[in-house]
Amino acid sequence: MEDYESLRQDRYNATVVSKILLTPDLMILRVATDEPREQFSAGQYTTLGLSGFEPRSANSEEEHSPAPAERLVQRAYSIVSARHETREFEFYITQIKSGQLTPRLFALEVGDRLFVGRRIVGVFNLSEVLPEKDVLMAATGTGIAPFISFLRSHVASRPNSRMVVVQGASHQRDLGYYSELAFLNTTLANFFYLPTLADADETWRGRRMWIEDLLAAGEVKRESGITLDPAKTHVYLCGNPKMVESVARWFIEEKGYQQKKGREEGQLFIEEF
């Protein structure tokens, strides 16, 4: 244990300051780094890491490929925080029960230490969207994370840009940041929130359809006035790969969008999981 404590001191550079379990396998984790980072672009990501000797959560499963005790296991996570936050960072994480890292992250408590990458990177951001252009963001699962950073960083500073979040899930408990998004929907004239559930119970009074069906039904135009036209509206997709593939195909084939790739021009931006 003394050797492990020495490794913690040498490797770890951040402390857990808040942990909110939304479900047993879904949490919001907020950490404070020992040293501040440079201001980043909303939508970018960094890495989180814990050593293989750290404990796993009580409801995890047998590790599919056991991590060596002394290895630092790292994975990339989108930052939820606004871009001006350079010391405290928020992450939205789902537990992969047999994984190497997330069960260890779910075992963390306030005050525990971990590793946070020193670099913040990624090209999934609003840098190429003119302030008067509209923005549609479609997400499932933890794919909502970069969009919360978009909104916290830019929605108030882009009053002439209408911004829409379409969020799909099976159950209402899976709609991460629902309260924050619903609040923004009622308080900001340029923001619109369209949640939809595929397997809702009788208490849900909202939409019950897939994201593709919501788009095809004209719900975005009806609720926000946004036109799904590549000349007017940029589209961002993040979440389940099947959803992303299906929705991207719809925008390309039905609306004439071109995916942004490298230096190629495009109005459709995709964050790969």
pLDDT tens, 239-254?
Answer: 999 999 999 999 999 9
DSSP H/E element including 139: strand 134-140
Percent of the chain with pLDDT strictly greater than 70: 99
Asked if residue 30 lies in contact with residue 90, where contact means CB atoms within 8 angstroms, the answer is: yes
pTM: 0.95
Give the SS3 label for residue 268. Answer: strand
Query: What CATH number belongs to 134-271?
Result: 3.40.50.80
Q: How far apart, in Å, do the first and last CA atoms of the chain sit?
A: 35
Provide the residue ranges of all domains of the chain, joining segments of one domain with +: 2-116, 134-271
Superfamily in which the 2-116 domain is placed by CATH:
Translation factors (2.40.30.10)
- At 162-221, the pLDDT tens digits run 999 999 999 999 999 999 999 999 999 999 999 999 988 889 999 999 999 999 999 999
